[in-house]
Chains A and B, each alone.
Chain A
Amino acid sequence: MVVLLCAVVYAAALVFLAACAVRVVKFARAPIHLRWELYPVPHEQPDRVAHGGSYFEEVDWWTKPAHFSFWGEMKFMVPEMLFLKGLHEFNRRLWYRSFPFHFGLYLLIGTLLLTATGVAAGFFAPALLAGSGGALLRSAIAALGLAGCALAVFGAAALLARRLKDEKLKGYTTGGDLFNLVFFIVALGVLCAGLLTRPPATPDVIGLAAGLLTFEASLQIPWLLAAGIILVSLLLAYIPLTHMSHFIAKYFTYHSVRWDDSINRRGSRIEARLAEYLTYRPTWAARHIGADGNKTWAQIAMTNPAQEAKK
Chain B
Amino acid sequence: MKDNIKLSDMSRQDRKPLTHLENKDLKPLPYPLEDPSKDHEWTPLSDQAKAKYECSLDDTCAVNIPQPKNRQEEDELVAKFLSGLDKLFTRENNWTFLQPLLLTMEHCAKCQTCSEACHIYEASGFNELYRPIFRSEIMRRIYFKHVKHGSLVSAWQHGDVVVNWPLVARLIELSYRCNLCRRCAQTCPIGADNGLVAHELRKLFSQEMGIAAKELHDTGSMLQLKVGSSTGMNAEVVKDNIEFIDEDMTEKTGIEVKTPWDVEGADVLLIHNAGEILAWPENPGAFALILNAAGIRWTLSSEIAGYDSINYGLWYDDAQFARVAIKHAEAAKKLGVKKIVLGECGHAHKSLSVIADRVLTGDLNIPRESSMTLLRDIVMNGRIHLDPSRNDFPVTLHDPCNMVRLMGVVEPQREIIRKICPRFREMEPHGVDNYCCGGGSGFAIMSGNNFRDWRFHVAGRKKLEQILNAFADCMDPSIPKYLCAPCSNCKGQFRDMLAYYDLWENHRILYGGLVELIVNAMVDAKPGFIEWEWH
- A contact set with B: CB distance below 8 Å: 26-27, 30-41, 44, 48, 51-62, 84, 86-87, 89-91, 94, 98, 168-169, 171-177, 242-243, 245-246, 249-250, 252-254, 256-258, 261, 263-266, 270-271, 274-275, 277-278, 280-289, 297, 300-307, 309-310
Report the minimal beta-carbon distance from B94 to chain A, rounded to whole angstroms: 8
Contact residues, B425-444 vs A (CB, 8 A)? 431-432
> Would A59 and B408 count as touching, CB distance under 8 A?
no
> Would B431 and A51 count as touching, CB distance under 8 A?
yes
Report the minimal beta-carbon distance from A304 to chain B, rounded to whole angstroms: 5
> Would B95 and A86 count as touching, CB distance under 8 A?
no
Knowing A31-B99, A301-B323 are in contact, say whether A52-B107 is a contact too (CB < 8 A): no
B192 at the interface (CB under 8 A from A): yes
Knowing A57-B408, A176-B158 are in contact, say whether A281-B92 is a contact too (CB < 8 A): yes
Residues of chain A within 8 A (CB-CB) of B377 are 59
> Would A27 and B91 count as touching, CB distance under 8 A?
no
Closest 7 CB pairs of A and B: A253-B191, A54-B408, A176-B157, A52-B432, A306-B226, A30-B99, A31-B95
B119 at the interface (CB under 8 A from A): no
Report the minimal beta-carbon distance from B123 to chain A, rounded to whole angstroms: 17
Residues of chain B within 8 A (CB-CB) of A177 are 110
Residues of chain A within 8 A (CB-CB) of B137 are 172
Residues of chain A within 8 A (CB-CB) of B326 are 301-302
Residues of chain A within 8 A (CB-CB) of B91 are 30-31, 277, 280
B97 at the interface (CB under 8 A from A): yes
CA of A309 to CA of B187 in the docked complex: distance in angstroms? 44
Residues of chain B within 8 A (CB-CB) of A275 are 361
> Would A38 and B185 count as touching, CB distance under 8 A?
yes
Contact residues, B71-119 vs A (CB, 8 A)? 80, 83-84, 87, 91-93, 95-100, 102-104, 106-113, 115-117
> Would B373 and A249 count as touching, CB distance under 8 A?
no
Inter-chain contact count A-B, CB under 8 Å?
Answer: 276
B354 at the interface (CB under 8 A from A): yes
A23, closest chain B residue (CB): B106
CA of A201 to CA of B358 in the docked complex: distance in angstroms? 65
CB-defined interface of B116-146 with A at 8 Å, one 1/0 digit per residue? 1100000000001001010001000000000
Stretch at the interface among B204-212, B454-462, B477-485, B498-506: B204-212
B362 at the interface (CB under 8 A from A): yes
Report the minimal beta-carbon distance from B511 to chain A, rounded to whole angstroms: 24
B226, closest chain A residue (CB): A306
> Would A39 and B100 count as touching, CB distance under 8 A?
no
> Would A264 and B189 count as touching, CB distance under 8 A?
no
> Would B95 and A285 count as touching, CB distance under 8 A?
no
Knowing A30-B99, A51-B410, A253-B191 are in contact, say whether A39-B404 is a contact too (CB < 8 A): yes
B248 at the interface (CB under 8 A from A): no
> Would B97 and A34 count as touching, CB distance under 8 A?
yes
CA of A283 to CA of B206 in the docked complex: distance in angstroms? 13
> Would B191 and A288 count as touching, CB distance under 8 A?
no
Given A31, A40, A288, A303, which contacts B432 in the complex, CB threshold below 8 Å?
Answer: A40
Q: What are 21 sample pairs from A and B whose C-beta atoms fall under 8 A apart?
A: A30-B99, A38-B405, A51-B432, A52-B432, A54-B407, A54-B409, A55-B408, A86-B187, A86-B189, A94-B112, A173-B110, A176-B156, A264-B358, A265-B365, A266-B362, A282-B87, A284-B87, A284-B207, A285-B80, A286-B209, A301-B323
B279 at the interface (CB under 8 A from A): no
Residues of chain A within 8 A (CB-CB) of B112 are 91, 94, 168-169, 172
CA of A161 to CA of B128 in the docked complex: distance in angstroms? 21
Residues of chain B within 8 A (CB-CB) of A173 are 110
Knowing A39-B432, A87-B113, A253-B192 are in contact, say whether A284-B410 is a contact too (CB < 8 A): no
Given B93, B196, B407, which contacts A56 in the complex, CB threshold below 8 Å?
Answer: B407
> Would B157 and A288 count as touching, CB distance under 8 A?
no
Given A53, A91, A176, A281, which contacts B113 in the complex, CB threshold below 8 Å?
Answer: A91
Residues of chain A within 8 A (CB-CB) of B106 are 243, 245, 249
A284, closest chain B residue (CB): B207
Knowing A253-B190, A286-B207, A301-B326 are in contact, say whether A171-B7 is a contact too (CB < 8 A): yes
Residues of chain B within 8 A (CB-CB) of A303 are 323
Residues of chain A within 8 A (CB-CB) of B115 are 168
Known: A175-B156, A304-B225. 13 other contacts (CB 8 A): A35-B355, A51-B411, A52-B410, A53-B408, A57-B411, A61-B369, A168-B115, A249-B190, A250-B191, A270-B358, A277-B91, A282-B92, A288-B210
